[in-house]
Structure 1
Amino acid sequence: MNVEARIKSFYLLGNSLKRFLNHEKASSPSEENFFNLLEEKVNHAIHYNAWFTKENILFSLQQWSEALEKKELENWLSSYKQPKDKNLRVAIIMAGNIPLVGFHDFLCVLLSGNKVLIKQSSNDNQLLPVITQYLEEIEPSFKERIAFSKDRLNDFDAVIATGSNNTARYFEYYFSKKPHIIRKNRNSVAILTGNESKEELQPLGEDIFRYYGLGCRNVSKIYVPKGQKLDYFFKAVYDWHPIIDSNKYANNYDYNKAVYLMSEFKILDNGFLILKKDESFSSPIASLFYEEYEDLEALKLTLEKEQENIQCIVSNGLDASHIPFGKTQQPRLYDYADNVNTMKFLLEL
Structure 2
Amino acid sequence: MTIEERKSYFIQVGKFLSLFGDGTNNSIKITPENERFFNELNDKIDQSVHYNGWFTRENVIFSLQQWSKALTQSNLDTWLTPYNLGENQQKTVAIIMAGNIPLVGFHDFLSVLISGHNVLVKQSSNDKQLLPVIAGFLMNIAPEFEDRIKFTEDRLTNFDAVIATGSNNTARYFEYYFSGKPNIIRKNRNSVAILTGKETKEQLEALGEDIFRYFGLGCRNVSKLYVPKEYDFDDFFKAMFPWNTLMNSAKYANNYDYNKAVYLMSEFKLLENGFLILKKDEIFGSPIATLFYEEYEDEKELQEKLEQNKENLQCVVGSEAEIDFGKTQQPELWDYADGVDTLKFLEKL
- Give the TM-score taking structure 1 as reference length: 0.97
Equivalence for 1:348: 348
Q: Does 1:284 align with 2:249?
A: no
Amino acid of the residue matched to residue 160 of structure 1? I
Q: How does 1:58-77 map to 2 (within 5 A)?
A: 58-77=61-80
Equivalence for 1:10: 10
Contact kept? 1:273, 1:287, Cα under 8 Å: yes
- Residue 338 of structure 1, CA deviation: 0.1
Equivalence for 1:331: 331
Amino acid of the residue matched to residue 62 of structure 1? Q
Query: Whole-Å Cα distance in 1 between the matches of residues 272 and 7 of structure 2?
Result: 48
- Residue 227 of structure 1, CA deviation: 1.3
Superposed CA deviations along residues 277-329 of structure 1, whole A, max 9, x for unmatched, are 0000010000000000000111011000000000000001x24xx10000000
Q: Identify if the C-alpha distance between structure 1 residues 20 and 261 changes in structure 2 by more than 3 Å, giving closer, same or farther.
A: closer
Within the candidate set 309, 314, 317, 1:314 is matched to 317
Moved more, 11-20 or 110-119: 11-20
Structure 1: which 5+ runs fail to align? none
Superposed CA deviations along residues 15-47 of structure 1, whole A, max 9, x for unmatched, are 111134355674532201111101110110000
Q: Does 1:168 align with 2:194?
A: no
Amino acid of the residue matched to residue 131 of structure 2? L
Query: Whole-Å Cα distance in 1 between the matches of residues 30 and 272 of structure 2?
Result: 50
Equivalence for 2:195: 192
Query: Whole-Å Cα distance in 2 between the matches of residues 22 and 188 of structure 1?
Result: 28
- Residue 52 of structure 1, CA deviation: 0.6
Superposed CA deviations along residues 172-211 of structure 1, whole A, max 9, x for unmatched, are 0000010000000000000000111222211000000000
Within the candidate set 93, 100, 103, 2:103 is matched to 100
Amino acid of the residue matched to residue 19 of structure 2? R
Equivalence for 1:274: 277
Query: Whole-Å Cα distance in 1 between the matches of residues 94 and 21 of structure 2?
Result: 30
Structure 1 SS opposite 2:68: helix
Query: Whole-Å Cα distance in 1 between the matches of residues 47 and 33 of structure 2?
Result: 21
Within the candidate set 150, 154, 158, 2:157 is matched to 154
Query: Whole-Å Cα distance in 2 between the matches of residues 217 and 58 of structure 1?
Result: 18
Contact kept? 1:2, 1:85, Cα under 8 Å: no
Q: Does 1:215 align with 2:218?
A: yes
Query: How many positions carry a matched residue from both structures?
Result: 346
Query: Whole-Å Cα distance in 2 between the matches of residues 240 and 304 of structure 1?
Result: 31
TM-align CA RMSD: 1.1
Q: How does 1:130-145 map to 2 (within 5 A)?
A: 130-145=133-148
- Give the TM-score taking structure 2 as reference length: 0.97
Structure 2 SS opposite 1:153: coil
Amino acid of the residue matched to residue 55 of structure 1? E
Equivalence for 2:119: 116
Structure 1 SS opposite 2:93: strand
Contact kept? 1:84, 1:112, Cα under 8 Å: no
Matched-pair identity in %: 64
Moved more, 74-83 or 332-341: 74-83
Query: Whole-Å Cα distance in 1 between the matches of residues 266 and 185 of structure 2?
Result: 36
Query: Whole-Å Cα distance in 2 between the matches of residues 180 and 150 of structure 1?
Result: 20
Query: Whole-Å Cα distance in 2 between the matches of residues 61 and 5 of structure 1?
Result: 22
Query: Whole-Å Cα distance in 1 between the matches of residues 134 and 85 of structure 2?
Result: 25
Moved more, 239-248 or 205-214: 239-248
Moved more, 216-225 or 81-90: 81-90
Equivalence for 2:249: 246
Moved runs in structure 1, 4+ residues, more than 3 A?
22-28
